[in-house]
Structures are given as C-alpha cells and as structure tokens.
A = this chain, B = another copy of it.
Amino acid sequence: MLSKKTKYGIKALSYLAKRTDKSPVQAAEIARSENISPKFLESILLNLRKSGFLGSKKGKGGGYYLIKDPKEIQMTTVIRVLEGPIAMIPCVSLNYYEKCEDCPDELTCSVHKLMIEVRDSTLKVLGENTLADLS
C-alpha cells in the first residue's frame, strides 16, 4: 500500500506539472487545491526539493516549482524517493536489497521467484509512465 505521503507527493508534483507557466506555487495553494493537510504537505515538498525534483523560492511570491521537464521524470524514481522500495519484498529489491533472515538460499525460495515477476511487471508500468503522463 502506498502511504499518503507518497500519494500526496505525486499529486503535488502532478499539480505543478499541469501548470503552463513555471512560476513558483505556494505550498498552501497546492494543499488547498488537492485537499491535503498544509503542514503535512510542507514536509513532503521539502523532501521533494531535497531530492532534486523541486526548486523553491522564499518570501513573498515564493513557492515551489519543478526543476526538470515532466517528461523526464519517471514514476519509478518518484516512488522510490517518496515510498522507498518498489518490490514487495526486500530480497528482490534492486535499490533497497536486503537478505531474508529465514532463507538459506534465495534461489530455492518459493516466494522469491514470484516476487521478481511482480517487481518486473510493476517496474515496467512505472518506468513507462512519467509525470507528464499523469495528465
């Protein structure tokens, strides 16, 4: 399950991607428009700025803006930053790999192979979609 943090983050990015002009948008405006708790969204936007998705401007007329072209932002990278691993289990994660304590051998694990299949199909969908595709 996607956390609200991730969902809100995607909605905020998508909100910015839809705008034609690239002037800064205040966090409060996004929060209002997308029905997100303002303070919670603030922390998410901060996170997205530190991760290199957003730029920001302080003071009056300030706000957040997209740094890259929405077409260049794959959903895989967005979700990895906000949510963490895309795989359903750490032992098949490409970016957040972790060995299972209970498995002596991954190759004979009945769950492992299945989860690789799931991971790859999910990666395909998320890799083919960019921020620009969220309409």
Query: Is the pair A88, B129 in contact by a Cβ cutoff of 8 Å?
Result: no
* A contact face: mostly helix, strand, loop, or mixed: helix
Complex-state Cα separation, A124 to B124, whole angstroms: 13
With most chain B CB atoms within 10 A of its CB, the pick from A113, A118, A126, A133 is: A118
CB distance from A80 to the nearest CB of B (A): 13
CB distance from A100 to the nearest CB of B (A): 8
The count of identical subunits is 2
Q: Which of B109, B124, B135 contacts A121 (CB 8 A)?
A: B124
Query: Is the pair A35, B102 in contact by a Cβ cutoff of 8 Å?
Result: yes
CB distance from A59 to the nearest CB of B (A): 29
A residues 95-111 near B (Cβ < 8 Å) are 101-104, 109-111
Query: Is the pair A75, B114 in contact by a Cβ cutoff of 8 Å?
Result: yes
- CB contacts (< 8 Å) of A26 on chain B: these are none
A residues in contact (CB < 8 Å) with B: 1-2, 7-8, 10-11, 14, 34-36, 75, 85, 88-90, 101-104, 109-111, 113-115, 117-118, 121-122, 124-126, 129, 133-135
**Interchain residue pairs A-B with the least CB separation, the first 8:** A110-B134, A14-B110, A35-B102, A121-B121, A2-B88, A117-B125, A121-B125, A2-B89
